[in-house]
């Protein structure tokens, strides 16, 4: 059940970019979720002024944390963790809706597997159909880009929780002791995309397990809060990072589902306070803004070129339709249509 801010065993961390139409709906869906476990809700809203009047319309029984800058999903989760005082943190976004029994099933799976650092639910669409790429195996030496494609096909149709190599972060539950041990999600994969896969790899390298709980279901609109330009950019950028200098010593062991400590350079911000983490996140964001801006500029230029071409064609047609020759030949065109129609009936 929903309890006062900061007093739940579980904190649902809802991260959003601005106050969009779907945010109040998502907040209410999580607040009103029927669960036996005590939970509170923290809503981190990036790219919004603390003076925005819309903030006053949000429910008073949750913690709302506005941030002027865009800390991304990564930085937003760190802020949510700073406001979590229980045992678990849930990763949420404004395009998710929990299904009945979702949270209790996640907590039950975590309680049954005390060594689990992350427990992922089953994502479903609006019709209740299971979405692909909920969980799976990882193969040693494979590019992180291929991790989702190595999904263990039988997993989505099982009902009992099971150990896996990775789970989707959509509506997933993280044990805070595991979060703190690894320094949380990787700030270098700002703002999103592969945050969950990188975190699963990292907690496993620290000896924590990853569990899929198919009985916990959450409806996910899938990329309802991101543009295609942003997703394409972050997928390419974060894949290159994770396959390169991101996790040396970890990716070679990805094929082992059993959690096993792996020596590796850990998070540079491990043990930092939230102010230091936010500063580091903004630094990482600044490194990504320039190429992202170029991608948006190229996309906009191409769109404007297509629009200009269409406008040019419209102007040409307007000139044709207004010409004397078009008016003079109008009877011939009518006659031609009549002839074609007549021939088509024979």
Extract the tokens encoding 282.
């903004």
Domain end: 216, 243, 274, which one? Answer: 274
Instruction: Kindly report the three-state secondary structure assignment for every residue of the chain.
Output: CECCCCCCCEEEEEEEECCCCHHHHHHHHHHCCCCCCCEEEEEEEECCCCCCHHHHHCCCCCEEEEECCCCHHHHHHHHHHHCCCCCEEEEEECCEEECCCHHHHHHHHHHHCCCEEEEEEEEECCCCCECCCCEECCCCCCCHHHCHHHCCCCHHHCCCCEECCEECCCCCEEEHHHHHHHCCCCHHHCCCCCHHHHHHHHHHHCCCEEEEEEEEEEEECCCCCCCHHHHHHHHHHHHHHHHHHHCCCCHHHCCCCCCCCCCCCCCCCCCCCHHHHHHHHHHHHHHHHHHHHHHHHHHHHHHHHHHHHHHHHHHHHHHHHHCHHHHHCHHHHHHHHHHHHHHHHC
Task: Supply the pLDDT for residue 243.
Answer: 73
Task: Supply the pLDDT for residue 263.
Answer: 79
Whether residue 4 lies inside any domain: the answer is no
Residues 63 and 182 occupy one common structural domain: yes
Whether residue 122 lies inside any domain: the answer is yes
pLDDT in tens, 144-157: 656 665 544 444 45
| CB-based contact 163:211 (threshold 8 Å) | yes
Whether residue 5 lies inside any domain: the answer is no
Task: Supply the pLDDT for residue 55.
Answer: 94
Higher pLDDT, 175 or 310: 175
**Domain with 266 in it: what CATH number?**
3.90.550.10
The whole-number average pLDDT for the span 305-334 is: 64
- Return the bridge partners of 15, or none: 44, 93
% of the chain residues with pLDDT over 70: 74
| CB-based contact 67:159 (threshold 8 Å) | no
Higher pLDDT, 194 or 143: 194
Residues 45 and 175 occupy one common structural domain: yes
| CB-based contact 185:173 (threshold 8 Å) | no
Domain end: 274, 303, 319, which one? Answer: 274
Whether residue 290 lies inside any domain: the answer is no
Task: Supply the pLDDT for residue 47.
Answer: 92
Residues 169 and 311 occupy one common structural domain: no
The answer on pLDDT for 256 being more than 70 is no
pLDDT in tens, 103-114: 999 999 999 999
Whether residue 281 lies inside any domain: the answer is no
Residues 60 and 121 occupy one common structural domain: yes
> Between the ranges 22-26, 173-177, 247-251, 296-300, where is the mean pLDDT highest?
173-177
Whether residue 214 lies inside any domain: the answer is yes
The whole-number average pLDDT for the span 87-115 is: 95
Rounded to the nearest angstrom, the gap between the alpha carbon of residue 18 and the centroid of all alpha carbons in its chain is: 15
% of the chain residues with pLDDT over 90: 46
Whether residue 169 lies inside any domain: the answer is yes
Higher pLDDT, 107 or 191: 107
Residues 126 and 218 occupy one common structural domain: yes
The whole-number average pLDDT for the span 164-172 is: 91
Q: Which domain holds residue 72?
A: 10-274
Residues 247 and 182 occupy one common structural domain: yes
The answer on pLDDT for 52 being more than 90 is yes
Distance CA 162, CA 122 (A): 12
Interstrand relation of 166-167 and 209-220 (parallel, antiparallel or unpaired): unpaired
Angle between helices 228-241 and 274-322 (to 10 degrees): 140
Domain end: 274, 305, 322, which one? Answer: 274
What's the whole-number average pLDDT of the chain?
82
pLDDT in tens, 213-244: 999 999 988 655 556 667 777 777 777 777 77
Query: What is the number of structural domains in the chain?
Result: 2
Residues 325 and 236 occupy one common structural domain: no
Q: How far is CA 285 from CA 31, 188, 190, 298, in A?
A: 31, 8, 6, 20
Higher pLDDT, 140 or 100: 100
Residues 28 and 131 occupy one common structural domain: yes
Residues 224 and 299 occupy one common structural domain: no
Whether residue 287 lies inside any domain: the answer is no
Q: How far is CA 294 from CA 88, 188, 227, 230, 283, in A?
A: 39, 19, 15, 11, 18
Residues 251 and 306 occupy one common structural domain: no
Task: Supply the pLDDT for residue 321.
Answer: 61
Residues 135 and 263 occupy one common structural domain: yes
Task: Supply the pLDDT for residue 122.
Answer: 93
Residues 23 and 145 occupy one common structural domain: yes
Distance CA 278, CA 272 (A): 10
The whole-number average pLDDT for the span 95-106 is: 95
């Amino acid at each position: 059940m929903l309890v006062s801010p900061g007093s739940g065993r579980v904190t649902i961390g809802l991260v959003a970019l601005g106050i969009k139409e779907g945010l109040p709906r998502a907040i209410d869906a999580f607040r009103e979720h029927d669960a036996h476990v005590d939970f509170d809700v923290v809503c981190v809203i990036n790219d919004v002024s603390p003076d925005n009047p819309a903030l006053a319309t949000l429910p008073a029984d949750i913690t709302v944390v506005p941030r002027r800058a865009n800390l991304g999903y990564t930085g937003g989760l760190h802020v949510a963790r700073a406001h979590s005082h229980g045992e678990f943190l849930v990763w949420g976004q404004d395009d998710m809706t929990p299904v009945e029994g979702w949270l209790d099933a996640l907590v039950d799976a975590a309680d049954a597997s005390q060594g689990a650092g992350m427990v992922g639910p089953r994502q479903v669409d609006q019709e209740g159909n299971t979405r692909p790429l909920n969980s799976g195996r990882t193969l040693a030496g494979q590019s992180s880009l291929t991790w989702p494609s190595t999904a263990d096909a039988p997993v989505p149709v099982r009902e009992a929780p099971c150990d896996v190599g990775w789970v989707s972060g959509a509506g997933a539950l993280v044990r805070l002791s595991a979060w703190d041990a690894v320094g949380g999600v990787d700030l270098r994969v700002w703002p999103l995309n592969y945050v969950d896969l990188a975190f699963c790899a990292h907690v496993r390298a620290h000896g924590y397990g990853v569990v899929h709980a198919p009985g916990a279901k959450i409806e996910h609109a899938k990329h309802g809060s991101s543009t295609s330009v942003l997703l394409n950019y972050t997928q390419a950028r974060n894949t290159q990072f994770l396959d390169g200098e991101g996790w040396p010593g970890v990716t070679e062991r990805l094929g082992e589902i059993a959690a096993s400590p792996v020596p590796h350079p850990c998070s540079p911000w491990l043990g930092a306070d939230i102010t230091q983490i936010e500063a580091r996140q903004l630094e990482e964001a600044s490194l990504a803004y320039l190429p992202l801006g170029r991608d948006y500029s190229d996309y906009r230029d191409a769109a404007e070129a297509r629009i200009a071409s269409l406008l040019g064609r419209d102007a040409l047609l307007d000139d044709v339709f207004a010409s004397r020759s078009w008016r003079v030949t109008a009877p011939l065109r009518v006659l031609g249509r009549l002839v074609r129609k007549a021939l088509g009936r024979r």
